[in-house]
Amino acid sequence: MHIHILGICGTFMGSLAILAKQLGYQVSGSDQHVYPPMSTQLQEQGIKLSEGYDPAHLQDKPDMIVIGNTCSRGNPAVEYVLNEGLPYCSGPQWLAEHVLQGRWVLAVAGTHGKTTTTSMLSWILEYAGLEPGFLIGGVPKNFDASARLGEQAYFVIEADEYDSAFFDKRSKFIHYQPRTVIMGNLEFDHADIFPNLESIQTQFHHLVKLIPQNGLIISPAENANLAAVFEKGSWAPHETFGVDGVVGEEANPDWQVRLLQEDGSRFQVQHDAEEAEVNWRLLGQHNVQNAIAAIAAAAHVGVSLQKSCAALAKFSGVKRRMEELGSFAGVSVYDDFAHHPTAIKTTLDGKRAALDISNKGERLIAVIEARSNTMKMGYHQNTLADSLSAADKVYWYKNADTKLDLDAIASACRPEFKALESVDALIEALVAESQSGDHIVVMSNGGFEGFHQRLCAALQG
């Protein structure tokens, strides 16, 4: 059976393609933007990729067209599918029908941290010998691909609230029918899909209504936006987590964390009468919270606290999540996917804490491409300056279609702020102004015109 995937280089659809290949399907796909790491991963799996949405890619009449949510009416391939009466479905629907039936699904939802937390949970179960299947919206370094079928009942999935397809506006996670659910956080995002926070909370409550009574919900002890979701009704057991000094004593979370190092590189976990310590390579309080959520979810399928903490000590992280690309003449360059003020802030705060502990006077430089629809539409105008406060310098790629008032952000920003209109100008400025000991964090959720590789080459030269 031959399936063709429209939008195959998206993180979700690319992972779905890998699962289809493992099931024995002939898999091909097309996308407007084909770039690493997903394009490389797909090619390594022997999946044929086509650039663009030319109907000619479909003229061999695949048995099923799986349509990604980036493809809408007016797309030439979509119009061809409809005109020719070809069978089609959404990615989440295909996944639910062909992969998730009969599995114990562990879903990771929330505005931030889904990819990292899903990777952590998958690795913990793997380390514990449970051989899980998984679908991750990124490339985890502990595995050789972002998805696999797995050998046993458990399947870990990144549960995105984004819509399923142009013909199915429900959130993707509604299709998954999970038994164990992490809801790590909830903020307003995806302004191109949701008119307000309340509409996102409605989708999250639809997810809550699907969790069986022998299931489990895991969430932070104090999160007003999630609390409003649970107030609408909740029928499954519920466990909470929190970091000492961040949540109040009255919150009394089921899973408690005490930081042993301010940058989050060492912490202690307490649950009931048990304690264990994690000493790992990741940084930032946000990653500590991701970790405790993953530990709690793993416990629901029988993994001990000690085993989970031992697994995290060997967790290598995820590509494009503070991934160090190299050091060039003493200048370190990192690739990070952050595309929301909260994610930007937690990432920079974590790196700043680590630099302050080393006390070498090294500078932290942030390079931002505001690529998400929500960011470009200007919805985060008033919170961006604060999110950048941990940096020493900020370089902003000035997209032609942004509605952000960059002059206002610059005037409110503590660090030096420069907005430049081309990738070439950004690279030229960074090469000229960086110095040994600098840490350059490049933040974009897209290909950024090959900026990362071009910057590394220019610094090396």
CATH number at residue 427: 3.90.190.20
**Does any domain span residue 97?**
no
> Could you tell me the CA-to-CA distances from 63 to 23, 46, 49, 55 in Å, in that order?
15, 19, 17, 15
284 annotated as a binding-site residue: no
**Total number of domains constituting the chain:** 3
Residues 76 and 107 in one domain: no
Which CA distances in Å does 52 have to 69, 76, 175?
15, 9, 28
Tell me, what's the pLDDT at 250? 67
Same domain, 138 and 272: yes
Q: Is 111 annotated as a binding residue?
A: yes
**Residues 75 and 157 placed together within one structural domain of the fold:** no
Residues 70 and 179 placed together within one structural domain of the fold: no
Inside any domain, residue 355: yes
Domain shared by 87 and 189, yes or no: no
Q: 224 and 109, same structural domain?
A: yes
> Is 279 contained in some domain?
yes
Structure confidence at residue 356 (pLDDT): 82
Q: What is the pLDDT of residue 378?
A: 65
CA 148 to chain centre: 18
Do residues 225 and 277 both lie within one domain?
Answer: yes
| Residue 137: closest CA among 119, 154, 111 | 119
The verdict on residue 191 lying in a domain is yes
Domain annotation covers residue 390 = yes
Question: Where is the domain boundary, 259, 293, 312?
Answer: 312
Establish if 130 belongs to a structural domain: yes
CATH number of the domain residue 275 falls in: 3.40.1190.10
Q: Is 110 annotated as a binding residue?
A: yes
Measured distance CA(319)–CA(276) in Å, rounded: 27
State whether 193 and 247 are in the same domain. Answer: yes
The Cα–Cα gap between 129 and 235 comes to 31
Q: State yes or no: 238 annotated in a binding site.
A: no
pLDDT of residue 353: 85
The reply to whether 308 and 328 lie within a common domain is: no
Residues 152 and 265 in one domain: yes
pLDDT in 10s for each residue of the chain, 461 residues: 999 999 998 889 999 999 999 999 999 999 987 767 678 888 888 899 999 999 999 999 999 999 999 999 999 999 999 999 999 999 999 999 999 999 999 999 999 899 999 999 999 999 999 999 999 988 899 998 889 999 889 999 999 999 999 999 999 999 999 999 999 999 888 777 889 999 999 999 999 999 999 999 999 998 999 999 999 999 999 999 998 867 666 678 999 999 999 889 999 999 998 999 999 999 888 899 999 999 999 999 999 999 999 999 999 988 888 888 899 889 999 998 877 788 888 889 888 888 887 778 899 999 988 877 667 666 777 878 888 999 999 998 887 777 788 888 888 888 888 888 888 999 999 999 999 999 999 988 777 878 888 998 988 87
Collapsing DSSP to helix, strand or coil, 155 comes out as strand
Domain span at residue 307 reads 102-312
Q: Is residue 317 part of a domain?
A: no
pLDDT of residue 290: 95
What CATH number has the domain bearing residue 53? 3.40.50.720
97: tokens are: 């029908």
What's the confidence (pLDDT) of residue 376?
63
Q: In the prediction, which pLDDT does 145 show?
A: 86
Same domain, 21 and 123: no
Given 264, 287, 312, which residue is the final one in a domain? 312
In 3-state terms, what secondary structure has residue 104? strand
Tokens found for residue 213: 């009574």
pLDDT, residue 247, reads: 66
- Whole-number pLDDT of residue 193: 85
Q: Is 402 annotated as a binding residue?
A: no
Please tell me whether residues 381 and 295 are part of one structural domain: no
Q: Which of 39, 60, 91 is the last residue of a domain?
A: 91
User: Residue 169, Cα to own-chain centre: how many angstroms?
Assistant: 21
Domain assignment present for residue 318? The answer is: no
Neighbours of 125 (CB within 10 A): 28
Given a contact cutoff of 8 angstroms between Cβ atoms, the answer to whether 156 and 134 are in contact is: yes
